[in-house]
Amino acid sequence: MKHWIVCAAALLAAHAWAAENSMPPTKSAATANVERGRKLLISRQETGCVLCHKIPGMKEGGDMGPNLGGLSQRMTADQIRQRIADWRAVNPQTFMPAYFSTKGLHNVAKPQIGKTVLTEQGLEDIVAYLLDATKGP
């Protein structure tokens, strides 16, 4: 009996982890564009990703976050999408900004209130670039 309860709890926990840890494609995934993703990633104003990450295909890159080389070998598209959209559900202490959330963002300028940093299309474009740029040989 006890055993059963422990098993059920472990299953529930695993399920919650998987759900928080990944985000299914949005409807804009169908029109994702690698080149638009590259432009967003490289833009310090629009995303600032290169301030913290080294990214394949880009010269400049910071060291605050992990090198994104080989990303598609260690994460699924859904996991990459979740990382960019909002990683706070999994790691509340994260330095990584939530790019597709309107909740709990600090120092948001008035015209930006209620808006996400990335559009749904922008999020999908970035996921497309990262998958393309880090796919195996």
What are the residues binding ligand HEC (CB under 6 A)? 47-49, 51-53, 64-66, 68, 71, 80, 83-84, 87, 91, 94-97, 99, 126
CB of 21 to ligand HEC, least distance (A): 11
CA distance 137 to 132: 11
Q: Which is nearer to ligand HEC, 12 or 76 (CB)?
A: 76
Scan for tokens 């600090």, then name that residue: 106
Q: Which is nearer to ligand HEC, 9 or 70 (CB)?
A: 70
**Phi then psi dihedrals of residue 117, to 5 deg:** -65, -50
Inter-residue long-range contacts of 49-53, CB under 8 Å, 24+ positions, other chains counted: 49/126, 52/95, 52/96
CB of 95 to ligand HEC, least distance (A): 4
